[in-house]
Amino acid sequence: MSKITSTKIIENTYKQIINWRRYLHQYPELSFKEHKTAQYISDQLNELENIEVSHPTKTSVMGRLQGKKGSGKTIAIRADIDALPIKEATNLPFASKVDGVMHACGHDGHAAILLGTAKVLSELQDTLIGEFIFLFQHAEEVPPGGAKEMVEAGVLDGVDYVLGLHLWSTVPFGEIQITKGSVSAASDIFDITIEGKSGHASQPDSAIDALAIGSQIISNLQHITSRVMSPLDSGVVSVTRFHSGDAYNVIPDRAHIGGSVRALTNDVREQIKESMEQICTHIAIAHNAKATLTYNYGYDPIVNNEDLTERILENTKKAFKDDERIKVIQSPPMLGGEDFSAFSNVVPGCYVGIGAMKNENGTAIPHHHPQFDISEDSLFIALKYYVTTALDLTGNTLL
């Protein structure tokens, strides 16, 4: 095992991380269109000289650093780099210069943290064992997502572990949230079409009322989470659209229902889908109608590897033990969707949350809001988390 003093190097990288984040914040780009962002990132990596830079897809970047002291584990670290179609309203001196596009989820921070991680590790190269892969991923915000494309391009070949994180503007600064098992939900959408037979409102016996059948289906869909699933499992079935009919005196022959499903495991997700199919089919049959369910899979749930997460939890507590601002906590999962799961489905992974609330007294502005902002000090916490975790997992010892 090699012993390293990295604290100083981490501190020296701080200012540069802020500069990177502010530059990226000014020039946000939408999902699958991150051309200039990818160019900027690869320029910064190329300046480090000992990092091999490539483009696995059109707008993603991969950096590879080989420790000089010998072989060890290979670890991949991922940052998403895309922005959102939102008009920024922050008045920050480094606010977006691209009209209608904004880094309103903190991905500018994620990219800067990973550039910083690459810089710190590249300066330590002579003392390192193992290999480090830096994945700057395009298109997290828009399904099917960029992670899947990068995996298909082979970025995880030979990788032992994958790490990811998210800065959270609504989580107090200083919190590091580490979750064992499921950490984000499967996020799927569905459409149901009901076909009946139209007729005069005064003669319901001659019609097959798609609207009334649709109401029964909606009502029964609520039973999935309350009566089909185990009360110990988590899932959501939300009907958010229901359209049928457009006259006062006509029984409609068509109804359209739409909505969203969330589940913390793939098993629960499949159970929900199967139950939806049964409800649609059988309620329709009971009324001589036809119902068709179209179920569209979104991102898979992220499931943090238990052993890896336990190790990271212990190592992170150790790494931050002298920093009174930091609380390492085991937190419950969220029901949001994240395509980091495309990586962690392939190799053991761990995805954590870093508190980045700007205002200590609450009033946190949520993600995807025109006034979204993060505490820049949280970038330093995240950088230290990545460096200390990467060193531990590759078999290096941190001093």
| Nearer to Ni ion among residue 45 and residue 105 (C-beta) | 105
Q: Are 273 and 309 in contact (CB under 8 A)?
A: no
CB of 105 vs Ni ion, minimal distance in Å: 4
Q: Is 147 in the site for Ni ion (CB under 5 A)?
A: no
| Nearer to Ni ion among residue 18 and residue 105 (C-beta) | 105
| Nearer to Ni ion among residue 164 and residue 259 (C-beta) | 164
Site string for Ni ion, 85-124 (x = CB under 5 A): --------------------x-------------------
CB of 21 vs Ni ion, minimal distance in Å: 14
Q: Measuring CA to CA, which residue among 103, 54, 81 is closest to residue 368? A: 103
Helix (H, G, I), strand (E, B) or coil at 189: strand
CA separation for the pair 389, 379 (Å, rounded) = 15
| Nearer to Ni ion among residue 139 and residue 156 (C-beta) | 139
Q: Is 162 in the site for Ni ion (CB under 5 A)?
A: no
Q: Does 82 participate in catalysis according to the annotation?
A: yes
Site string for Ni ion, 304-343 (x = CB under 5 A): ----------------------------------------
Catalytic residue among 140, 141, 209, 338: 140
List alpha helices for 137-255, DSSP H: 146-152, 210-223
CB of 140 vs Ni ion, minimal distance in Å: 6
Strands (E), the chain: 3-4, 52-54, 61-66, 70-80, 129-137, 161-168, 175-178, 181-182, 186-195, 199-200, 235-244, 250-251, 254-263, 290-296, 303-304, 327-330, 349-355, 397-398
Helix (H, G, I), strand (E, B) or coil at 65: strand
The rounded Cα 333 to chain-centroid distance in angstroms is 12
The pairing of strands 303-304 and 181-182 is: antiparallel
CA separation for the pair 6, 385 (Å, rounded) = 12
CA separation for the pair 387, 119 (Å, rounded) = 10
Catalytic residue among 29, 34, 80, 82: 82
CA separation for the pair 66, 51 (Å, rounded) = 8
Residue nearest Ni ion by beta-carbon distance? 105
| Nearer to Ni ion among residue 190 and residue 351 (C-beta) | 351
CB of 156 vs Ni ion, minimal distance in Å: 21
CB of 166 vs Ni ion, minimal distance in Å: 6
Q: Is 87 left (phi over 0), alpha (psi -120 to 50) or beta?
A: beta
CB of 110 vs Ni ion, minimal distance in Å: 8
| Nearer to Ni ion among residue 105 and residue 113 (C-beta) | 105
Q: Is 354 in the site for Ni ion (CB under 5 A)?
A: no
Helix (H, G, I), strand (E, B) or coil at 251: strand
Ranges within 4-43 binding Ni ion (CB under 5 A): none
* Tokens 């090699």 sit on residue: 2
Helices (H) then strands (E): counts for the chain: 9, 18
CA separation for the pair 91, 70 (Å, rounded) = 49
Q: Are 110 and 340 in contact (CB under 8 A)?
A: no
| Nearer to Ni ion among residue 105 and residue 328 (C-beta) | 105
CB of 164 vs Ni ion, minimal distance in Å: 11
Residues marked as catalytic: 82, 140
Binding site for Ni ion (CB under 5 A): 105
